[in-house]
Amino acid sequence: MPDATRSTHTMMQNDRAARALGIRIEVNEPGRAVMSMLIRDDMTNGFAITHGGMVFALADTAFAYACNEDEKVTVAAGADIAFLKSTTAGQTLTATAVRRVRSGRNGLYDVTVTDETGDVVAEFRGRSFTTNRPL
């Protein structure tokens, strides 16, 4: 099994948070991942819009899969998000993560979260750090 496939397989088996949120892997390849999530009623805030933490969790999950592409564990060193459009229960969000730079043990990834119409909901930038820890 190639290293990227082994890494993804290990992550999928152990990713209880993604399973609990109903996050689905649409595409996963080295340096790129696409994930989707149906927004449920219990994912909305007091204003009946999607809680920002749910949008962040989807983007962060796509980031994690995009940056774990070899036999070493890669973790987030930091991330920022800009919320650009609100969504509500019943909508499906899609996060597309793309590697911008990977240099040594550091990486930079951009994630765009869209709704089912293609409108941009959020822009996320994640910074990764590759550890010495094997999968």
The percent of residues above 70 in pLDDT, for the chain, comes to 93
User: What integer pLDDT is reported at residue 13 of this predicted model?
Assistant: 81
Provide the CATH number for the domain around residue 112: 3.10.129.10
Beta bridge partners of 52: none
Q: Is 15 exposed, middle or buried (0-12, 13-18, 19+ CB in 10 A)?
A: middle
62: left (phi over 0), alpha (psi -120 to 50) or beta: alpha
In the chain, the number of structural domains is 1
Better-predicted residue by pLDDT, 31 or 8: 31
Range of the domain at 100: 3-134
pLDDT in tens, 9-63: 677 788 999 999 999 999 999 999 999 999 999 999 999 999 999 999 999 999 9
